[in-house]
Every structure is written in C-alpha cells, then in structure tokens.
Chain A
C-alpha cells in the first residue's frame, strides 16, 4: 500500500502484525493516555462517591455503629418540605448566577483584551477577588451590607435612596449572595475567556472590519461562536458549582434569615454535621448528584449540536 504525503515522498507500509496493530490502535492509545488520570480519580473520587452511596442507605450518625435502612432516607427526602425549599433556593440562585457571571465575564474579558495603558493593573484587579479566601470575602460583605453601619447603606443614604436590610431581609438575602459570588467568581470566568480569546487570530477580526461590518456585529458573528467551547465549559462548570453553593452561605448567613438562603449543600451540612444525620446527608448528596448529572448531560448535548470547534 502506498501513501503520498504532502511533501511528495512515497511511503510504503507493510501490513503490521496483530499485536502491533493492537498496540498502535486508537483504543489502546486512548486508554493509555487517560489511564493515569483515571486511576487517580477512581481511587480518590470514585471510591469515596461509592462509599457515600452506601452511607445514604444507612441510618448513620458517623459516630455509632450504623445499620442499613434501604431507601428510607430517600423516601423521607421526597416528603421533606425543608429539602424542597432548599431545592427552590438553589435553583433560583443558579438560574440568576450563571448567566450574569458568564456573560458579564465575556464583556469584561473583551474589555481586558485591549492594549491600553494600565491594562495589566486592571487584569490584576479583576483577579484579586479570586485569590481572596471565602472567609475574608464573607467578613467584608457582612460589613459592606450591614443595615446600620455598612458602606452600601451609607452610599444609598448619600444619594437619597432608602436603607435596605440586605442579608437580614429574607427577601433580599439570596440576591445579596448572588452579588457576592458573582464578585468572587468573575475573575475565574474572565481568565478562561482571556485565554480563549488568544486563540482567535487578529486577522479574522480585521478581515471582518475591512468588509465594513461594525465592531459589534463582528463580535457577534465571529468572536462569540469561536468562544463557543469556552462558553460551554463555563456554563457547565458554573452550573455545577452554583448547584453546590455552600462556602459563601456558611461564612455569611448560615442559611438564614428564616431559611431563605438555605441551599441544598448547606442543608446537607446541617443534617450531617449539626443534626448528626450522616446517612440522610449522603442521600441529599446523591439526589443532588443525579440532578447535576442530568443538567450537565443536557448542556453538553446542546453544546454538541451548537458549539463550533474549528476542527
């Protein structure tokens, strides 16, 4: 068999033996490449996930010897009104957080992709919240949003707007958490987008402009589709993260006021580590896991049909 390579050389292949073909085969190669990662993740993530499945089938306070109760935890979960409201809070949060942070980051990344004076300082500034620990972020926001002594109410007062209760108002607390987490995570999305923007050749943008297309429509028809893989990644990742929101709640509202910021993972934490219902907490984790998996698969499926990869 002969193949003509682009350089014009002629290469002749002898038909390789079975073992060699196997060794060279795509399947073996693929598995060889993923093996180290798979082993590590299997040991340190999949096994613990399996363990917690077992835990969810037990009445287990993580201290005394446990006994199996089958699906009792799951049945109780289906009837649990507090779990239901945790689900509602989590969904509300996710549906607002993901679009704001992803598309806000897109705009910000484009702005930061300029060559203007001080751009490195601006990029650093956007990066700072990402580096700040959640505890410090919580303390700062608790001060900023304090109804009496906080900076935000002070500014509102200065411009004549009414004072708000923010984190002490059951109707406002969740949205304050949205603001706090957008602030904290924007830098992450921005650096992903910045990295992705590097892959868009300047020639394409210039070519569009020379054709008379306005900057905005060039952006929409060229840049946005080319950022598709990054956007898909950020939407999937942000959703996975948003549905597992915990840290920011723990350092500020602790699920309050009046349970208005109790999200699923916070409810799980309460059950497992305050009420000593480890088995019930594991069941919550599993239900959440299945939900996230379904949502992610749907997102990936949509992405497969709509995201353009330059290959």
Chain B
C-alpha cells in the first residue's frame, strides 16, 4: 500500500488506546472472580480483600447446591432463547415493512410502537401482571416470555439497518416475481446478519439479566430464572457474597461465550456481489 508510515513501535499504536480501555472495562469481572474465590468473611469485607487466602473453588459447587441453580439456568435459557427467537422473527417482519413497504398508516403505527419504549416499566408492571394472569400464565416460564416476545426496540433497530441496504437487489427480485416474504428471507436477512446477530445478543442479555418482571410473575423457586434466583442469596442485612459472586460469574459465562462465538457473524465483511 502506498504511503504507509513506517512503524516505530513493535506493535500497532491502537494497542495504546485499546489496552487501557479494556482494563477499565474488565474491572468488574476481575473483581467478581476474585470475590467468588474467597471465604464469606473475606468476601464481605470492606475495603474488599483483593488477595484471597487460597482460591476457594469450592464456592462454585456450593452455589450450585445452595440454590436450585440448575433450574434457574434452564429457566433462563428457555426465557432468553424464546425471546430472541420471537424478536428475530416478529421484528424482522415488521421492520422490513416499515423500511420498504409504503402502506397506509405506517408512519403513525411506527411512532405508536416506538412510544411503547417511552413508559418506564415500574408503571406497567401491574397491568402486565393482570394481563398475563388473564392468560393463565402466572408463575410459569411462558408468563415470563409472553410480554417480551416482541419489542419495538428490535423493530426500530432493524428498520434502520434494512434501509441501509441497497435497494437494487430487492427491486430486481421483485421484478423477477419473488414475493415480499421471499425477498425478506432470501435477500434482506442474509445481508443483515450483523444486525440480526446484534439484536439476538442484546435481547439475550436483557432476558438473561431481567430481574423485576420475573420477580413479579414467578412464585415458585423452581420456575425462577437466574437473576431472580440468585437474589435469594442477597438479604436485607446479610448477603452471601462469595456464593453470590460465584453464581453471578457462572451466569455471565454463557453470554460471554455467545459473544465470542457470535463475533464472526457481525464482524464479517459483506461482499456486495451483483452491484457493479
């Protein structure tokens, strides 16, 4: 490449910026892991004990036994996967329509849907509970899932992404007689992998970390998802910090693993064949 400056450092200068940023961002994870390997008095200390007396890995199986961790895990997986699937499907359909189809009332409808993001959940938790109760889903994973199957957030985000795609491919397919749905599935979605992966990850995190709605809707411990379940380790006056941290670290691993895995879906350059 012409004109590239000669490097004076043995590594890319970007490291000088990224390394400190990464360090700051990683502080909580490091802190949580340290606390999760301490004894309860150590973990409850203030200022925090940062050099534990010999790593107590036993905290991890202890947490698994202290609370029905397996149940929490499964409930969270069901909750998160279902809401991800629901959002991917329903938001794609709607976002495509808002991005590409001119239909009567679309602008008003878009704003109305967007407006549902503008009211804080504290005010909505009681009526939502009443509706889910009417559907007979109190204290069930289904009750967790239903209100979160589709969010205007996903619709808004995907609409923005779909609109950045060059329309020529879609127009060509239209003329070839492909149905709208076919265009969405065969052309638009494959080109939108980064956006879909992003939506999936974000929705997964939200469901995985959700606390307030599960608190309202779930009564039985075995139906609780992770954050709600782990909160039983946290009392008004006394918290089992070491177990809570072990549980929290365990609960974060799936999300981190998913992110590492999914990186290749949304950091992947897209070759635009077909447009010359």
A30 B106 Cβ-Cβ under 8 A: yes
Is B128 in the interface zone, CB < 8 Å from A? Answer: yes
Is A88 in the interface zone, CB < 8 Å from B? Answer: no
B260 A273 Cβ-Cβ under 8 A: no
| CB of B56, distance to nearest CB on chain A (Å) | 19
Q: A122-B22, A191-B198 are in contact. Are A285 and B123 (CB under 8 A)?
A: yes
Contacts of B269 in A (CB 8 A): 198, 201-202
B160 A128 Cβ-Cβ under 8 A: no
| CB of A216, distance to nearest CB on chain B (Å) | 14
Q: Among the listed stretches B59-67, B109-117, B215-223, which one makes contact with chain A, having 4 or more residues with CB under 8 Å of it?
A: B109-117
Is B12 in the interface zone, CB < 8 Å from A? Answer: yes
Contacts of A40 in B (CB 8 A): 86, 90, 149-150
- Interface size counted on chain A using CB atoms at 8 A: 100
Q: Among the listed stretches A47-55, A92-100, A166-174, A252-260, which one makes contact with chain B, having 4 or more residues with CB under 8 Å of it?
A: A47-55
B-side interface mostly: helix
B28 A26 Cβ-Cβ under 8 A: no
Is A5 in the interface zone, CB < 8 Å from B? Answer: yes
B28 A140 Cβ-Cβ under 8 A: yes
A183 B25 Cβ-Cβ under 8 A: yes
- Among residues of B, the one whose C-beta sits closest to the C-beta of A6 is B172
- Among residues of B, the one whose C-beta sits closest to the C-beta of A44 is B147
| CB of B145, distance to nearest CB on chain A (Å) | 11
Contact partner of B127 (CB less than 8 A), chosen from A34, A48, A132, A232, is A48
A to B CB contacts below 8 Å, 30 in the list = A26-B103, A29-B97, A29-B180, A34-B94, A37-B93, A37-B150, A44-B146, A47-B127, A48-B124, A55-B123, A114-B14, A116-B14, A132-B29, A133-B211, A143-B46, A149-B47, A183-B24, A191-B266, A192-B157, A192-B198, A194-B267, A201-B270, A233-B160, A237-B157, A246-B120, A268-B122, A268-B123, A281-B123, A296-B118, A311-B164
3 closest A-B pairs by CB: A30-B103, A195-B194, A125-B22
